[in-house]
Amino acid sequence: MVDLKGMNKHKRAEYIWDYYKLHIIGTLAAICIIISIIHSQITKPDYVFNLTMISNISDTNKITNLESLLTKVVVKDGSTRKKARVSTMPIDTSKNANLQTTSQYMQKLTAEVSVGELDVIILDKIMFESFVKQDMFLRLDNISELNLDSLKGEKIHATGSDKKNGVYAIDAKDIVLFKKLGFDTKNKVIGIVGSTKQKYNSILILKYLLNK
């Protein structure tokens, strides 16, 4: 049995390192991993709203600026973790579209809608007409908190799966913030996703964008 007490500090340190370095390294690595996980959870953004644009906009600076503006609309408690998110999906339904890429993004869009990750979408009118038949959007004229008469833009009527006609979207052609992004708003509409988990924030954003 090794007599550690009989060793000087230097010898004792060498002995401990030689025989226990793997344990020490493993313990330190585990501590670092735990600290990293805790830090990531503390600093991880808490997205309280998502705006999805069916577009191929790639200017991240403009998108980040829009996120900052929308965050100020939906976050009023001073929280630095809560944020609004703006995402883009380059879904192309034209004759020249890459079918594989379009299919992948369509699957992604459908999946995110099904789990309630998306709140407000701006998209092409033709695409909207297809999705509204699948009940992808909330009927805006049935939302008591939303006064459609106070919102700028043409109200887009459509028929859902219940065969009843109603307002499901609003023309986006005059939305200034989208134009500043370089987004072509011609023949585009904006609506609230039916599976949204952030209905109140979606209403706030819709009012903000249309009346800005």
Contact (CB, 8 A) for 80 and 148: no
Residue 1 has pLDDT above 60, yes or no: no
CA dihedral (103, 107, 156, 50) positive or negative: negative
Which residues of the chain form beta strands (DSSP E)? Answer: 46-53, 82-88, 120-124, 155-159, 165-171, 188-192
Q: Give the pLDDT confidence of 47-106 residue by residue, as tens digits.
A: 999 999 988 776 888 889 999 999 999 998 778 889 999 998 888 766 666 777 778 888
Distances (CA, A) of 121 to 7, 9, 53, 188: 72, 67, 6, 10
Report the pLDDT averaged over residues 1-6.
59
**pLDDT given at position 8:** 65
CA dihedral (28, 33, 36, 41) positive or negative: negative
Q: Give the pLDDT confidence of 5-58 residue by residue, as tens digits.
A: 666 667 766 766 777 777 778 888 888 888 777 666 666 788 999 999 988 776
For the chain, the residue count is 212
pTM of this prediction? Answer: 0.78
